[in-house]
Amino acid sequence: MIMPRTEKQYARIREEKRALIKNIALELFASEGYYYTSISKIAKKAAISKGLVYNYFKSKEDLLKEIISNGFDAFTVVFDPNKDGILTDDEFDYFINEVFNILRSNTKYWRLFFGIILQSIVYDFVEEQLIRILSPMSKTLNNFMERKNADDPATDARFFMAVLDGVAFHYILDPDNFPLEKIKNRIINFFTRC
Amino acid sequence: MIMPRTEKQYARIREEKRALIKNIALELFASEGYYYTSISKIAKKAAISKGLVYNYFKSKEDLLKEIISNGFDAFTVVFDPNKDGILTDDEFDYFINEVFNILRSNTKYWRLFFGIILQSIVYDFVEEQLIRILSPMSKTLNNFMERKNADDPATDARFFMAVLDGVAFHYILDPDNFPLEKIKNRIINFFTRC
Amino acid sequence: MIMPRTEKQYARIREEKRALIKNIALELFASEGYYYTSISKIAKKAAISKGLVYNYFKSKEDLLKEIISNGFDAFTVVFDPNKDGILTDDEFDYFINEVFNILRSNTKYWRLFFGIILQSIVYDFVEEQLIRILSPMSKTLNNFMERKNADDPATDARFFMAVLDGVAFHYILDPDNFPLEKIKNRIINFFTRC
Amino acid sequence: MIMPRTEKQYARIREEKRALIKNIALELFASEGYYYTSISKIAKKAAISKGLVYNYFKSKEDLLKEIISNGFDAFTVVFDPNKDGILTDDEFDYFINEVFNILRSNTKYWRLFFGIILQSIVYDFVEEQLIRILSPMSKTLNNFMERKNADDPATDARFFMAVLDGVAFHYILDPDNFPLEKIKNRIINFFTRC
DNA sequence: CATGAATGAGATTTCATTCAT
DNA sequence: TATGAATGAAATCTCATTCAT
């Protein structure tokens, strides 16, 4: 008895191929740089034809966009995980720890990621992503600082984000020597004291 | 009988043209990205021929390297200005203030500078520069933290650099809204307390 | 549903295009010189795009190398055809006759071939080929001369090769007036006389 | 008392500069190839400016032509030195010896020389030179063979030239291993025996 | 859905030659 | 006569993308 599953199966195959291409592209973009990674190289490593890549992604830039978008998402899931807009001390700790776990998991990728979002050539697209991510994050952080009775919660929130980025930046540039644990503690102490 | 230009005249022409090319290249590298800025584009904007660029710089990469190297130098000048390896509290204040003065003086430039050094293909070269600049800076900062009786001066020094970069980064991305003065105070208080 | 070409079809296309490009390149290299023949010119004459040439040959130099290598091969086929390392008198005669048959069959080609291999920049590569071709040939010729009881077989072998090349060279430069048969006889008499 | 020699002195200086440039160009053309030797490189090695080269030679090609023309002359001086149209046995010996002395004196140059004259792009120019050199040489050689009571002097003359070129060719391709003396003897024996 | 030959636009780079000084 | 900055044309090569099959 043959079940009419072909439709669904095709869809699954499609999704798997897309994921395959994205993973390989990510790896190559990260290790060799976006510009120096040709579609040819991606196709060869994925053991498919060049043409097929275009069957799944409109263009090379399109492929990049999807990868970056996925990258941003990695952070949203670990910030205020229950999405109630309120950051507990535990959630604050969890977020900081997870941020660095994420960075550690693929340093090269995040280095690329940071580099790309600063190139204003892709800025129009990146800007949407930044606003999408940062504006709720900012609101929640303000609220967190208020609850800490900070004199100037808005400045503290802003300062926190800057510190986090700076530390993240230094960490991905030199992951082996960076005293990550000690610095994580300093951040947590500084921003959650009283 | 018409005499050729003197050596001095030639030297001046060379220096001026080099500067012109570097300035325009920086602007374009920063706004459009290194790879997407062609030598053609640089030449056109500088109103010279493509070929002339190669009279002054061995290659496109060479041009980039010199630009980056110059950028790094700007900071060394204001750090421990008497170069005695000892950072007084005043010098520490001065450094922090000057860093942001430098950044404010040409926000666009520094946005581009950061963007460029993050493009990973450049990384090998950037690493050399980082070591060149950061290792004496780091030593002096360690010494500064020790004199502050810090529990863990090395970590504090590192943390300081990360914080400074993060704040600088956020500042140049949004100089108009960033509460710079307040945050400068937070940094100074945090690292010079006791 | 349209199927992609089979592997065999692709292989045939590749082989035909490669041959086309090689033939046209040879003609141009020979008549205008290697350096003065641009890939553009080759592509135009072959009625294909510049880019396609690079689909088939890694570089201009690569194209040249393959052409030269093929030329050398033509001679190995007729030398000691059974490849037993022993040259009988008949095989010796056969070789000399075939060399000139090959040359006569496409005088223009061989004139060009000689022209190319003498261009000095090509020399390093030609040297490899010469060693590849000449060293077994030389061994077999030495052996041949020894069996002729020559006083100095190595020198005779070398002399023979030089004479053959000189005659071949003069022949292809002026095939219509060159007294080929008479000179072939002189060579055979000189080198196979007891 | 100042003598009015300036005119003549200038002429001498001019001639010396021309010779300097030609010698350096020859050296570079021979060692690096005509195409890969830039006017810049020649000027630098001659310690003069690029512009000055054009003061002495109309173009790079012009410089080459003069060098090549000088090359042809090298052979005419050693062939039938008294220019009486009659080649004695001693003159025949002398010619063969001198040819190889000349070749040995600058192997690279002669390799270049052979390579260049075979490129049809310079052929028009070279052809004149060849006719100028070869046609009296050929006549004199025929006469020489006749006096040797050769059965077919014309063929012998032609064969001789071919052999000489073949040996010269092999010699310049591998000057270090080529058994030149032995082969010179073989040529002399073969062509001057009774 | 899959292939890879083919295109074409553009990138970097080199260099003979000119020209103001 | 002498300089070297400047030009401009052309060369090699790369690659995202298309398309016939």
**Nearest by CB to C169, which of D115, D165, D178?**
D165
- Say yes or no: Cβ of A55 under 7 A from any atom of strand E: yes
Binary contact (B161, A170; C-beta < 8 A)? yes
Evaluated on CA atoms B42, B47, B51, B53, the torsion sign reads: negative
Binary contact (D186, C114; C-beta < 8 A)? no
Which residues of A fall within a CB distance of 8 Å from B31? 120
- CA–CA dist B190, B160 (Å, integer): 9
The tens-digit pLDDT sequence of chain D (194 residues) is 445 557 777 888 889 999 999 999 988 988 888 888 999 999 999 999 999 999 999 999 999 989 888 888 888 899 999 999 999 999 999 999 999 999 998 887 787 777 767 665 556 667 777 788 888 899 999 999 999 998 999 999 999 999 999 999 889 888 899 999 999 999 998 888 64
Whether A56 contacts A21, CB under 8 Å? yes
Architecture of domain C59-192: Orthogonal Bundle (1.10)
Question: Can you give the pLDDT at residue D134?
Answer: 84
For C192, the token pair is 């196979």
Whether C53 contacts C28, CB under 8 Å? no
Is the Cβ of A38 closer than 8 Å to some Cβ of chain B? no
**pLDDT digits over B150-167, tens only?**
899 999 999 999 999 999
Which residues of C fall within a CB distance of 8 Å from D30? 120
Q: Per-residue pLDDT for C194 more than 50?
A: no
**pLDDT digits over D74-111, tens only?**
888 999 999 999 999 999 999 999 999 999 988 877 87
**pLDDT digits over C5-39, tens only?**
888 999 999 999 999 999 999 999 888 888 899 99
Residue B80's SS3 state is: coil
- Average pLDDT over every residue of A121-137: 74
**Nearest by CB to A166, which of B118, B169, B186?**
B169
- CA–CA dist B50, C73 (Å, integer): 44
- CA–CA dist A122, B37 (Å, integer): 14
Residue C105's SS3 state is: helix
- Give B178 CA → E12 C1' in Å: 41
**Nearest by CB to D120, which of C32, C170, C171?**
C32
**pLDDT digits over B72-93, tens only?**
888 889 999 999 999 999 999 9
Closest residue in B to A29 (Cα) is B120
Model confidence band, residue A4 (pLDDT cutoffs 50, 70, 90): low
The tens-digit pLDDT sequence of chain B (194 residues) is 567 788 899 999 999 999 999 999 998 988 888 889 999 999 999 999 999 999 999 999 999 999 988 888 888 899 999 999 999 999 999 999 999 999 988 887 787 777 777 664 556 777 777 788 888 999 999 999 999 998 999 999 999 999 999 999 889 888 889 999 999 999 998 888 64
Is the Cβ of A112 closer than 8 Å to some Cβ of chain B? yes
Whether D140 contacts D147, CB under 8 Å? no
Angle between helix axes A60-78 and A107-118 (nearest 10 degrees) is: 110
Is the Cβ of C72 closer than 8 Å to some Cβ of chain D? no
For B87, the token pair is 């950072």
Q: Per-residue pLDDT for C154 more than 50?
A: yes
Amino acid at position A131, single letter: I
Does an interface of 3+ CB pairs under 8 Å exist between C and D?
yes
Bases of chain F with protein Cβ within 7 A: 1-21
* B63-72 per-residue burial string, b: 16 or more CB within 10 A, e: under 16: bbbbbbeebb
Question: Can you give the pLDDT at residue A171?
Answer: 92
Q: Which of C125, C132, C14 is nearest to C68 (CA)?
A: C125
Could you tell me which residue, A61 or A32, shows the higher pLDDT? A61
What's the full length of chain C, in residues?
194
Whether A181 contacts B152, CB under 8 Å? no
**pLDDT digits over C90-113, tens only?**
999 999 999 999 999 888 778 778
C1 nearest nt, CA–C1': E1
A50 nearest nt, CA–C1': E4
Whether A124 contacts B124, CB under 8 Å? no
- CA–CA dist A40, C90 (Å, integer): 54
Question: Can you give the pLDDT at residue B119?
Answer: 63
Question: Can you give the pLDDT at residue C158?
Answer: 93
Binary contact (A178, B158; C-beta < 8 A)? yes
Is the Cβ of A120 closer than 8 Å to some Cβ of chain B? yes
Model confidence band, residue A88 (pLDDT cutoffs 50, 70, 90): very high
Residue whose pair of structure tokens reads 């010996």 in the numeric block = D93
**DSSP single-letter state for residue B20:** H
Cα A79 off chain centre by: 12
Q: Per-residue pLDDT for A102 more than 50?
A: yes
